[in-house]
Structure 1
């Protein structure tokens, strides 16, 4: 393959760099792949020729900026999605810059494109009654309902990301006391999360009903293949709609699998768990991410407000007016 061709560099980036040298997860590779498919198709349309005819030197910083603008204005992607696609593009040009000096200026121009700052909304979370209403909805008499109930309980118990939970194999679970599960998060970092006895019992019952090979995912679809994140989101949406009849407040909330992670984090903060413990539990790289849960919990804020000295609150008389002896002394002057 011609070293100067775009195909050569893309093949080396995806197969040699991401897959072999960096050992990135399949989900990272697929995310980068999708971003590059959209980018190459966009550039090909602007140049009025097929993707196969594009050259590396045509993928300029101006083309990247135009693609990002198109993603936001035409495809209506969020700022977060826009930044993820930029990260995939910059990763490729960083790879090329280290290996092709003649493209250094082009790569530097792309790498100088900044990520875009956007609003940081407080994470949505559920209260105890809402969680209970959702967990009551799966029909546990059916294999599918039993699977969904166990999955939702695992998400709530561990605060796992949806793909972390879907990747759990029987080999990752310890059902005897102390029950625990090993999760693999971003960057393939492993962490151990304890399980409530109730959650361990649900997983044990699921395995007894639907035995799984030791190193294959526990949660499967109706065809016996691994349950996808899209499938889990679809089923959760059904349960949330049904649970809204018992808990009307759910109608005002946008509930997705990650909401259970936010819920677990907020409830731990409210229970007084140290943020460093929560960071390790959730696999956060930075405490700033964990502190997001503290900012979200209005009850924690209310309790903190109650600790403020009442004498300093608006409407309270100043300290010197509450001391009659001091007032008498001042009047005698």
Structure 2
């Protein structure tokens, strides 16, 4: 490797020495950073007219990073959240470079100073119980594929798991005996235990009977025995939602993704009066502020709270001192 171009060496050291060995990052973090750098390097190569293998550190300027972020958001149609994730991956690399290559510190500082873009905080999209029931009724449970989809969606609603947490599920993480529960591994490799309804545990058990899996093998797989992908689940769910819309028209106005089942779990727990600290542990939230977001989202909870407030006086009515005849009679005696 030429000393004139230390970039490939730094990139290799960033992924293998720092990200994997020192930080012990999860496979999902590594893949997310990898995808960002694939996009970024191709973007820079196209703008500079060079091959990716010829890119050097001097090509990776702050202006190139800013242009890439704009491209990722506007031309690729990504969200502001996705843009900020791309920036985090790039920042992480240049933070590492600053400790390895002092000559590049000025360049690194410029990139590290690129601000995170603030995004409007919208109400989370969640499903009403009737909408969940309508979607769960769509898979054809007489087929193995339909049974798998029904079990997966039922599990998402019961556990409030993130889609990747559900797809990583292995039989050894499930307790079928009463009280049934499941062990999930979330962000930052944090484990949590979620209770399972007897109905959900039975569905999981029947799926394993129909499609046996080893204790350490993924439970939800495709027809070839390979683990399902999140994109594949989103594609199947879109078809089920489209079919369910005919019986439940309210679904037309909602953008339903696998994560919508997680939102539904949180909102329905709030409606049932479950304490937010319990829900935080249930969903694996680090901050209670994240869980409180669901407390603001439930319209039914707001309606019940409004019912506890006294109805305001009708405008235009007589003031209370005019309605109190005893006071008026007393004033007449003066």
State the TM-score, normalizing by the size of structure 1.
0.94
In structure 1, runs of 5+ residues without a counterpart are none
Partner of 1:163: 164
Correspondence for 2:310: 309
Q: Which residue of structure 2 lines up, in the alignment, with residue 207 of structure 1? A: 208
Matches within 5 A, 1:136-175: 136-175=137-176
Counterpart Cα distance in 2 of 1:109 and 1:318: 66
Cα offset, 1:70, TM superposition: 2.1
SS of residue matched to 2:100: coil
Alignment match, 1:252: 253
Name the residue aligned to 1:261: 262
Structure 1 residue aligned with 2:296: 295
Give the distance between the partners of 1:315 and 1:26, measured in 2 at CA. Answer: 66
Residues 320/27 of structure 1: CA separation in 2 closer, same or farther (3 Å cut): farther
Q: Which residue of 1 aligns with 2:112?
A: 111
For the residues of structure 2 that align with 1:131 and 1:315, how far apart are their CA atoms?
A: 46
Q: Which residue of 2 aligns with 1:94?
A: 95
The Cα RMSD (Å) is 1.9
> In the aligned structure 1, how far is the partner of 2:319 from the partner of 2:21?
70
| Alpha-carbon spacing, 1:322–1:142, altered in 2? closer, same or farther (3 Å) | farther
Question: Following the alignment from structure 1 to structure 2, what is the Cα–Cα distance between the partners of residues 266 and 321?
Answer: 47
SS in 1 for 2:161: coil
Q: 1:291 offset after TM fit, Å?
A: 1.4
The alpha-carbon distance between structure 1 residues 231 and 310, as it changes in their structure 2 partners (threshold 3 A), is same
Unaligned runs of 5+ in 2: none
SS at match of 1:97: helix
1:22 is matched with which residue?
23
Structure 1 stretch displaced more, 19-28 or 222-231? 19-28
Paired positions, count: 333
Which digits, 9 at most, give the CA deviation of each residue in 1:42-84, with x for residues without a partner?
1122221111111113211111111112222322222111111
Judged with a 3 Å threshold, the aligned counterparts in structure 2 of structure 1 residues 226 and 313 are, in CA distance, closer, same or farther, namely: farther
Structure 1: how far apart are the matches of 2:17 and 2:93? Answer: 12
- Between stretches 153-162 and 313-322, larger displacement belongs to 313-322
SS in 2 for 1:310: coil
CA distance in 2, matches of 1:102, 1:184: 41
CA positional deviation for 1:23: 2.0
- In 1, the alpha carbon distance for the partners of 2:222 and 2:46 equals 38
Q: 1:31 to 1:311 in 2, by over 3 A?
A: same
Q: Indicate if the aligned counterparts of 1:156 and 1:260 stay in contact, CA closer than 8 A.
A: yes
CA distance 1:50–1:272, change in 2 (3 Å): same
